[in-house]
Structures are given as C-alpha cells and as structure tokens.
Structure 1
Amino acid sequence: MPKILEFPERHYIGVRATITMTTFGIVGDRIGELIGRLAARGVAPAGAPFFRYESIDMPGDRLVVQAGVPVAEPMEGEDDVFAATLPAGRYVTVSHHGHPDGLFEVIDAMLKWAEKEGLTWDMTSEDGVEHWGCRLELYNTNPQVEPDMNNWDTDLQFRLA
C-alpha cells in the first residue's frame, strides 16, 4: 500500500543519459563507477543508489534518466559526473520485493491509487512526454551480495506537486 512521506533535500552524485528501454545499461551500468569514485575520495554512500526519471516518452521509447548515489554532504562533480540535490517535499512511496520487471505493475497500481486519492504529481506532460520533478527508483539490494534479481528490494518515491 502506498504511503506519503516527507523528505528533506538529499545530495547525490550522478550521471545522465538519454536511453531506450533496451539500452538502460548505458546509465545503469555506471552505478558501480559512481560508488567507486566515492570510495576513491573516502566517501561512503549515504543511501541506496537510484534511477531518477527526468522525462518519459513511452510511445517514442525515449527516456532521460539519471543514475545517482546519495552522499551526506554536497560534493563537486568531475567529467560527466555531476553533483545535485533531490528536492525536498512530499513523496508517494511504495516498496517492491522481486525482479525489477515487476515494477511496471507496481507503478501502475501506485499511479491509479494516487488518482483515486486526488493527488497531483510534480509532473507536466507535453506532446505525450512526461517531465518529472522527481521520480525515483531506489535499489536497496547490492547485486554483488544478492545476484538473484527475484530477491531484490526496490523503493519507488514519486514527488507530489
């Protein structure tokens, strides 16, 4: 069952790419690199790595997605790795245990729940493309510890307007 939680601003480092559903690895495969860059600076992640969806064009199979790793304090970016902040605010959250392919159903149910509750997303739509203020998938399971994706735990956090 979805919940509404208030989150403060959260700092992170990340990378951004324009991808398709079949080229997700372009951004996803960089999470290990981001964690490695933090380790090289003696900085531990301050939470689960995540994907942040900036824009979603499902009919056109085009997404602008960030891979990010939270940090406790603001940092400087370098090369194509940038430092940024997730906005504070109220977020609808829900957890999923299982393969990430199951997230489609979880997201659909969450969107329908929010509509029934009369909630408004921090999102605009233009020419069929959704532009999100902050839409996150947080990956709580370390794939090096648990390689079976059917045992992964993922949190969704979508910011409300």
Structure 2
Amino acid sequence: MKAETVIGPVTIVEKPDRPYVGIRLNTPFPGMFAVATRALKDLRAWSKANGLEEDGPYFLRYYHCDMRDIMEIEAGFLTGAAPLDHPQIKGGLLPGGKYASLIYRGNGLRGNQALMQWGRDTGTAFAAIDPTRAESYLCRYEAYLTDPRVEPRKLLWDVELSIKLAS
C-alpha cells in the first residue's frame, strides 16, 4: 500500500505561549530525520522514566533550515512541567502569536513546500530569528498528531506544520 500525500488548507491561527522540553541539535540535512527520530525516542524514554506529563504532541522545531548547510533543529514535546537536571534536555517556549498552519499526511517535503508557496503567493512574511540567514525561523515546527505507538509508519501520520508570522 503506497501512502498518498494529503495536504490540508492553510489557516491562520492564534496560539498562546506553550512551554516544552526538547533536545536541540545541529545536523546536516542528509541524515537529519534519523538524528531527529533518535532524539524523539530518547525524549519519550526520558519522559516515561521520569513520569513527566505530556501536554501535547511531540514535535520537531526548525530554527535554521538551509538544506545545503547545517540544520538547527529541536525535538520536543509540550509540557508544563519543568525539566529535571539533564545535560541535553532543556526547557523552552513556543511563542504565542499568529501562525500559518496546515495539516499534511505523507510526503513532508510536499507539505512544507505547500506552506512556503502559500506564503509567496499571498505575500505573507514569516518571523525570522536572523533575517540575513536563509530559512531562519523564530518558530517553525511540525507537530506529530498521530501517536507513533498506534501507527508506526511515518507516511501515515497526520502532521501539523506551523510557522509564526512576522508582525
């Protein structure tokens, strides 16, 4: 069975500040998803071992996304609990504000291309950390809405892609 790519419509949504814990990583694009998957597994094991409550889905946050350079990413999950003392797992905040968002299933590159094309077509600017760097985002993330313990095949997951809009 071949997974079909389904891309939902773009919506503008207002989101509150949301605290999380995560593992921040620098990795080249080739192999990035293996590195991110390992970090997400480490987070799940750590949260289970420490009884940490999850207040939302696991996600992958993208700070700098230049596929020809080193990607700066973070694997995390929403929680109101403070992280325990850990050398890699740190607390963070997905900032509140207006986001362009869509839900896709299947090919993640196509889902991301659809949201970026929507931004170009509508003249919508995304908030950047460093406007001088290619693909720099104050807050861009993919939240995994499908529980991987229920559906292990990533191409069948529903994924919310959201990018914070520039003011």
State the Cα RMSD in Å. Answer: 1.7
Q: Which runs of 4+ in 1 moved over 4 A?
A: none
Q: TM-score, normalised by structure 2?
A: 0.84
Give aligned pairs, total: 156
Q: Quote the residue 1:39 is aligned against.
A: 48
* 1:106-148 superposed Cα distances (whole Å, 9 cap, x missing partner): 2222112122222110024425x32210000111222222122
**Structure 1: runs of 5+ lacking an equivalent:** none
* 1:57-82 superposed Cα distances (whole Å, 9 cap, x missing partner): 2233x201100111034444521111
SS of the residue corresponding to residue 83 of structure 1 reads: strand
**Structure 2: runs of 5+ lacking an equivalent:** 1-8
CA distance in 2, matches of 1:95, 1:6: 16
**1:51 aligns to 2:60 (yes or no):** yes
Q: Quote the residue 1:19 is aligned against.
A: 27
CA distance in 1, matches of 2:82, 2:125: 30
SS of the residue corresponding to residue 30 of structure 2 reads: helix
Residue type of the partner of 2:78? P
User: Taking every aligned residue pair, what percent have the same amino acid on both sides?
Assistant: 26
Q: 1:126 aligns with which of 104, 119, 132?
A: 132
- Spell out the pairing of 1:66-85 with structure 2 (5 A cutoff): 66-85=74-93
CA distance in 2, matches of 1:6, 1:143: 27
Aligned 8 A contact 1:13 1:77 in 2: no
Residue type of the partner of 2:31? T
